[in-house]
Amino acid sequence: MAVPPSRPKGAGNPFKLSIDPADRLLPSGSGGSGGHEPPPSFPKKARQPKEPRKPRAPKKSGGGGGRKWVKRLLLWGLTLAIWAGIGLGGVVAYYALDLPDIDRMTAQTRRPSAVFQSVEGEVFAAYGDLYGEPLDLGEMSPFIAQAVLATEDRRFYSHWGVDPIGLARALFVNLRAGHTVQGGSTITQQLAKNLFLTPDRTMKRKVQEVLMALWLEKRFSKEQILGLYLNRVYLGSGTFGVDAAAKRYFDVSARKVDVYQAAVLAGLLKAPSRYSPLNDPEASRKRTADVLDNMVKAGYIDQKTADTVQVTGAAQLVRRPIPAGRYFADWVMGNLDQFGEVAGKDIIVHTTLDISLQRKVEADLKAMITGPGAKAHATQGAVVVMSPDGAVRALTGGKDYDDSQFNRATQGLRQPGSSFKPFVYLTAMEMGHTPDDIFEDKPVRLGNWSPGNYTGKYLGPIPLRQALAESVNTVAVRLVEEVGPARVIATARRLGITSDLRNDATLALGTSEVSLLEMTTAYAALANGGFGVGAFGVSHITDPAGKVLYQRQGGGFGQVVSPVALSRMHDMMGAVITQGSGKAARLDRPAAGKTGTTQDYRDAWFMGFTADYVAGVWMGNDDYRIEMKKVTGGGLPAQLWKQVMVAAHRGLPARPLRTPEVPAEPGAAESVGDFVAGAAQAAGDAARGIGGAIDDLLKGIFGR
């Protein structure tokens, strides 16, 4: 069924139109020509049909949609980058507001330094921050800068404070190693950190470090930056700067440092304590070899030079003797706050220490403890040697300072045993007794206490000289009961004992704990003619330029022992060494002393003196519960005392003890009592005597 053609919309033609079928066969593009009549016109022109659209090419997969996503990603990335830049700028600005005052870099605070010199002028200890002479880069040995640049920052002269290439290289090396083995900080960054910042590894510190590194590069030349760095960098053992380190390790100025020494200093930058030639020579040697290899790779030296200096340099690397006197230095350092003149200043402390004798004392004590002492279960000891005026010439507070810094000579309080008896006998001599007075050696009982003798035997009637020489306990107890414990305490106070003392008869056997230093100080009064002294270790103090800040003057307490009593004590204490319990301490010259052994062999002492030196020795164990194997004061301590005193007197002529002249008249004994009457009565109250004596001693420390 044929479908009638539709009429144009809106034509409004009511007539039926017939079309010649031939019209449909006209070829395309003929333009309607061919002799046929045109179609009839209508009142309104009909709209011509539209040409058919050309078919679209098929869409490729991911075409236009993919390009849209790329554009979106680029847009998002650009936006994110902009905001990240804004955020980073904000962080930098925030941290920049909190930067230290970089214009005041030369005014950074540091701990004042205290350098200790022996009587020979040798530096044996240092505290605080040690800075050497500030030198320009051109004044230093050129090998120093070469070694540091080759090891720390080879691109120093080509970067602008921060080295991206160095950072990338360090990151690659660390990733390959699996841990941090190389840093990427430049010398400029390290200078910024050393001058202004803390070593904390925080984002804030790193950002500020970069900012200040950039500021330093803009403000100073490369030579100035490198010079500042070498003058300020920490190089171990309390030293800051290459000059201080060169003097500390090699005893030379940074001007004269050779290739090998420069490599040692550069090697310290990585880990000053670990690679210190003083702490670990072998680790230092290996690190130095690495630095020399770096110098070869950087072109500063050739391989032949590196090989040669490794052989010759290591042999004479550190010209510093074995450390000594550290216990002594700690003791002096602990008392420096008494000198207001030196507070907050760099100082040179000129001490009374005889460094040669100190080394001998330390070596002899260690040999005794590790040798015979080890077999006898004696694991520790202490020694003090002083002049009769109180100047400490040697002091060691233990067998090894590296193992234990506790000072057993000054801080340790132990029972002195029979070495305390001279204060009892001196009191008796002052009250009129003589060395020839006879006392009964027989059992004695005081309440529930019945002391016996070390030998377990009783000698019957014996003179006081023999009783002291053989350390008879029963006679000492009878004496203290006769003269009174309070008088004995007063005597000990006059001579320099400051520790608390028991006010009972057990005082005679040395049951009250004291320090070795105060015992030696008290014996000094018996050695110097009867004059009270205070132990001191400082003669004078100067600043680094040599200006005297403190000079010791005086310091004694006057005569505290009468000539008569002192002469009698020399008689009795000399017999201890020549024929009594201290024969192992006999010297080639007049000497006097006393042994001391406490209950169950927990402590062993020997105290003694000559005309030139006073010395005290203690041996025992830090754990008071551990007993030694029958070590008495007349054994190992007396032997060690003799070794020390032989070394101290080397080259000195033998001299008699400083015994004052004694009046020959019969009334001499009464004059003794007159001499000490005032002191004895004043010290009747032991507690009051303790306080006064402590005040006097504090005023006398270091001559103040």
Cite the active site residues.
Answer: 152, 418
Which tokens sit at 406? 């506790």
CA dihedral 355, 356, 362, 365 (to 10 degrees): -140
- Count Cβ atoms below 10 Å from residue 412 Cβ, excluding itself: 21
Within 8 A by CB and 6+ apart from 466, the residues are 459, 472, 575, 580
282/299 Cα distance (integer angstroms) = 26
**Ramachandran quadrant class, 626 (left: phi over 0; alpha: psi -120 to 50; beta: rest):** beta
Return d(Cα 121, Cα 116) in angstroms, integer: 9
**How many residues appear in the chain?**
704
Q: How far apart are CA 387 and CA 384, in angstroms?
A: 10
Of 448, 350, 336, 370, the residue nearest 124 (C-alpha):
350
Q: Whose CA is closest to 595, among 505, 523, 532? A: 523
Distance of CA 690 to the CA centre of its chain: 35
Give the Cβ contact number of residue 425 at 10 Å.
29
Identify the H or E element spanning 619.
Answer: strand 614-620
CB burial of residue 635 (10 Å; 0-12, 13-18, 19+): buried
d(CA 140, CA 254): 6
Number of alpha carbons in the 13 Å side-chain half-sphere of residue 635? 18
Burial of 421 (0-12, 13-18, 19+ CB in 10 A): buried
- Which segments within 449-506 are labelled E, that is strand? 460-463
Q: Which residues pair with 608 in a beta bridge?
A: 593, 615
3-state helix, strand, coil in the chain (%, to 5): 45, 10, 45
Residue 258 class from Cβ within 10 Å (0-12 exposed, 13-18 middle, 19+ buried)? middle
Handedness of CA 190, 193, 195, 199 (dihedral sign): negative
Cβ–Cβ < 8 Å for 581, 599: no
- In DSSP notation, 346-399 reads -EEEEE---HHHHHHHHHHHHHHIIIIIHHTT--EEEEEEE-TTSBEEEEESSS
Determine the Cα angle at 596 with ends 590 and 600, to 5°.
155
Q: Show Cβ contacts of residue 599 under 8 Å, excluding neighbours closer than 6 positions.
A: 415
